[in-house]
Amino acid sequence: MSSLYTRSKEFPRSRKSTSDSPPATPSPTAKTLRHERLSRLESGGSNPTASDSYGDRTSARARREAREARLASLASLADEDGSRDYKKLYEGALTENQKLKTKLQEAQLELADVKSRLEKVAQQKQEKTPDRSSLLEVEKRERRALERKMSEMEEEMKVLTELKSDNQRLKDENGALIRVISKLSK
């Protein structure tokens, strides 16, 4: 018996059997973990000094919500029409996976840049001794800003890796569906 897995922002992952049995409800721990993850993502943007990264995060959140809406509409279309073009779906998943890979690489490069700047600031701090008090205060502010940006980028990297794993899972499911359809058509 085959089964389909769906996931959207409003509903946790649930297994839908091809029979008429209702889907299982998520466990309380799954609900709390999901709630904690969402609250972490939403509370991370309240930093007033990192307005640029906040804009990036909101655009990333908007892209993620748009992607989830597309996936939800695709899932509803799959329920309505059994004869879908799975090759197009597979190719779409591949292109989206490539886009995410490039975003991940860009984020890694930016993270490496921030780390190198942080190391430079630390070296300059050790080399410079005149006007120590004023320079020390400026360097502390810069260091805090860089550390905040670094932590935000690490969070974005986590989100990107989650998206990458979701894409891989979808690709695997598409392959399985293609195999099932080819067996049924024989």
pLDDT in tens, 88-109: 899 999 999 999 999 999 999 9
Given pLDDT bands bounded at 50, 70 and 90, which one contains residue 22? very low
pLDDT in tens, 158-179: 999 999 999 999 999 999 999 9
Name which of 158, 173, 34 is nearest 107 in CA terms. Answer: 158
How many CB atoms are closer than 10 A to CB 182?
10
What is residue 4's DSSP assignment? E
- Would you list the domain boundaries of the chain? 64-185
How many CB atoms are closer than 10 A to CB 119?
11
Residue 80 predicted with pLDDT over 90: no
pLDDT in tens, 25-50: 666 676 676 667 666 666 554 444 44
CA–CA separation, 181 and 186 (whole Å): 9
Residue 144 predicted with pLDDT over 80: yes
**How large is the average pLDDT for residues 56-73?**
81
pLDDT in tens, 115-140: 999 999 888 877 765 566 777 888 89
